[in-house]
Amino acid sequence: MSVETEAAPVHRALWRRILRRRIWENLATVIIGVGVVMLMQPVSLWLYGYSLITMLVGTVMFVIVTKFPE
């Protein structure tokens, strides 16, 4: 029974470390930047076509991530 009580704080600490705001905000910003690059490149129509979706995913991700704990 003591193993279960010790495992719970470790599991909680792991989730707190994974859900840090700084890491996910940076990832969302990179996704938005990739979408902008996809929008401005003159080579591939496929990349241009998916640029808006990429930017929207990054923006929605950024809005959600700002609710995460520091």
The whole-number pLDDT of residue 38 equals 97
Residue 53 maps to a domain = yes
* Count of structural domains, the chain: 1
Domain holding 35, by residue range, is: 20-70
pLDDT of residue 27 exceeding 60, the answer is yes
Burial degree of 35 (CB within 10 A; 0-12, 13-18, 19+): buried
Q: How confident is the model at residue 25 (pLDDT cuts 50, 70, 90)?
A: very high
Residue 43 maps to a domain = yes
